[in-house]
Amino acid sequence: MSNREMIGRIVLVVLTLLLLSAPSFVGGQSSISNSDIGCHSEGAARPKNLAQGELREESRDPSLPLRMTAQQTENAIAIIASGVEVDFPAQAVFTLEAESRSDIIDVRLRYRVDKMKYAEVVSEGWASFSPATRIEAEWVWDMRNASLPPGAEVTYWWTIEDTDGNTFETSPEVMCFNDARYLWQSLTSSGFLAEWQTYQGDALTIFWYEGDDSFARELMDTCEEGLVRLTEDIGTYPERPIRMYIYASTEDLRGAMIFPQEWTGGVAYTEFSIIAIGIPPARLSWGKRALIHELTHLVVHQATFGPYGRLPTWLDEGLAMHNEGELEPHLGSRLEKAISDDELISVRSLCSPFSAEPDQAYLSYAQSYSLVEYLLDNHGKTRMLDLLSILKQGSTYDDALTDVYGFDMDGLDANWRATLSGPAVPGWPTWLQPAVITVLGALATGLAVRYVLRKRTCRRSSAK
C-alpha cells in the first residue's frame, strides 16, 4: 500500500469518527444532564429514580416508622372545634371536630372528676364517629349511669389517632356541670375560721335563686356559727371549699336529681364538697337547721375520709343532730316515750342505716343525738376527735370505742342507759319477761304464806 493510500484511509477513519460523535456536539447541554443520571454529586438535586430506590431500602429499616411519625405528627392532626353541652341533670354531650392528612380512626375522651378520692382516676369514653380525613365525633355522658351533683367540675381532654399512626392530645379543659335552669346568685364567706386561712379561694359559697340578699345572709350566718361550734365542740373544720345550692322547694331539688327519693329534702355530696337542699324562703327556720345538719355531715366526712373505714350511722347522724342545737320537741317526745315503754334501740342496731318507717327513724335520730351528747358531756371533745381519727384508720367500732373510752358498743349502751331517767336502764329481754314474772310471783306468794304461818304460830303461842 502506498503512502498516499495510507493517508487516505486515516483521513476516512477520522471523518467517520467525527461524524459519529456529532450528536454529542449538537446536544451539548443534554449530555451534561444525561451524565447526571449516572452520577449524583453531593448538593445536587436527587434524581427521582434513585430516591425511590433508597426509599424502598429505608422502608425495611425498623427505626423508620418512628422517624416518619415524628416528622408527620407536626401539624398532621388539626383540631377544628371542641366543646361540651350540658343538659342538666340528664347528660353532658362532648363534641370534637378534627382533620388529618389520613383517615382518623380512633377518638377518645379522657376525663377526671374533681372530688375527694383515694387515688388519681382517669376515665375514658369512646367517641362515636365515622373514620375519615375530617371527622365530627361525639361522646355522651348519660347521668343515669353515673350522675354528678350541681356544680361538679370535670377536667377532660381528647386523644386522636389516624391511619398513619399519628397521635394528638388536646389541652385539658374544665366542664362545670351547672344547673342552668335557674338564674343563680352567690354569696361567699372566707377566712372566718383561722384554720381556713390556707385556702386560696372562697371557703364557703351559697348559691340561691329565690329570696332576697337577707335570706342568703341569714343562711350564711347560720353556717358560720355552726362551723365555729363544730370546731369548738369536736375539733373538726372544713378541709376543702364548700358549695351549697339552695333550691326554692323540695320539688325543684328533686328535679335536679336523676333518681330522687320521695322524702328527699337535702343531700350532702360529701366527696364533692357540695350540698343541694330545698329551702323555701317562707321556711327559713327549718331551712337553717336542715342546712347546718347537711353541712356537718360534709365536714365530718372530710375529716374521716379514707379507704379503710366508715362511721357508724348513730355517730354520723348524732354529730349532725348535735350541731343543729337543741333536740326538736317532737323528737324529744319520741325519745321519752321509748324510755318509758322500754323500747330503746340497741347501739349495735343503730350502726346500720336507719329504718325507712317514720316512727322508728325519728327514734333512731333522737337516740343518736342523745348518745353523742352523752359522749361529749361525759368525756369531752378531745376523745371524740380521737374516736373519729381511729375510725378513719379502719378500726372496728368496738375496738375504736375501747381504745378511746375503755368500753365497747355494749358498754356504751349500758352506760348511756344508766344516765337516763325512768325505765331506760335495760330491762329483761322480752322473751324472759314471762318467766321472770312467774318466778317473782312464786317468791312473793311463798313469802306471804310464810308470813301468815309465822303470825298464826305466834298467836297460838300467846294463847297458851
Q: What is the pLDDT of residues 155-189, one digit of tens each?
A: 999 999 999 999 999 999 999 999 999 999 999 98
* Interval 90-100: pLDDT, tens: 999 999 999 99
Per-residue DSSP letters for 151-208? TEEEEEEEEEEETTS-EEEPPPEEEEE--TTS--EEEEE-SSSGGGGG-SS-SEEEEE
Q: Domain coordinates of the chain in residue numbers?
A: 72-175, 182-305, 311-428
Element (H, E) at 260: none
Nearest to 258 by CA among 149, 111, 123, 113: 149
pLDDT in tens, 130-145: 999 999 999 999 999 9
Q: How is domain 72-175 classified at the CATH fold level?
A: Immunoglobulin-like (2.60.40)
Backbone angles phi, psi at 445, to 5 degrees: -65, -45
Interior/surface letters 244-266, b for 16+ CB within 10 angstroms, e for the rest: bbbbbebebbbebbeeeeeeebb
Q: Specify the 3-state DSSP secondary structure of 303.
A: helix
> What's the number of CA atoms in the CB half-sphere (13 Å) around residue 134?
2
Q: What is the DSSP string of 396-462?
A: -HHHHHHHHHS--HHHHHHHHHHTSSSTTS----GGGHHHHHHHHHHHHHHHHHHHHHHHHHHHHHH
Pick the CATH number of 182-305 from 3.40.30.160, 1.20.1050.10, 3.30.70.260, 3.40.50.2020: 3.40.30.160
- Quickly state the pLDDT bin for 151 (edges 50, 70, 90): very high
Beta bridge partners of 86: 92
Higher pLDDT, 452 or 10: 10
One-letter amino acid identity for 436? V
Name the strand (E) or helix (H) holding 113: strand 91-113
Nearest residue to 241 via CA among 169, 186, 320? 186
Is the sign of the CA dihedral 244, 245, 246, 251 positive or negative? Answer: negative
Q: Which three cell numbers stand for residue 14?
A: 477520522
- pLDDT over 50 (residue 280): yes
pLDDT value at residue 190: 63
Residue 350 has pLDDT above 80, yes or no: yes
Residues paired with 266 in a beta bridge: 277
Element (DSSP H or E) covering residue 105: strand 91-113
Q: Which residue has the higher pLDDT, 403 or 430?
A: 403
Q: What is the pLDDT of residues 325-344, one digit of tens each?
A: 999 999 999 999 999 999 99
pLDDT of residue 320: 96
Does the pLDDT value for residue 323 go beyond 90? yes
Q: Read off the pLDDT of residues 403-418 as tens digits, 9 standing for 90 and up.
A: 999 999 999 999 999 9
CA angle, corner 191, sides to 247 and 389, nearest 5? 85
Name 226's Cβ contacts closer than 8 Å, sequence gap at least 6: 292, 295, 296, 323, 324
* pLDDT of 387 strictly over 90: yes
* 14-46 pLDDT tens trace: 555 544 444 443 343 333 233 332 332 223 333
In the predicted model, what is the mean pLDDT of the chain?
A: 80
Residue 281 neighbours by CB under 8 Å, 6+ apart: 210, 211, 215, 248
Query: What is the pLDDT at residue 178?
Result: 97
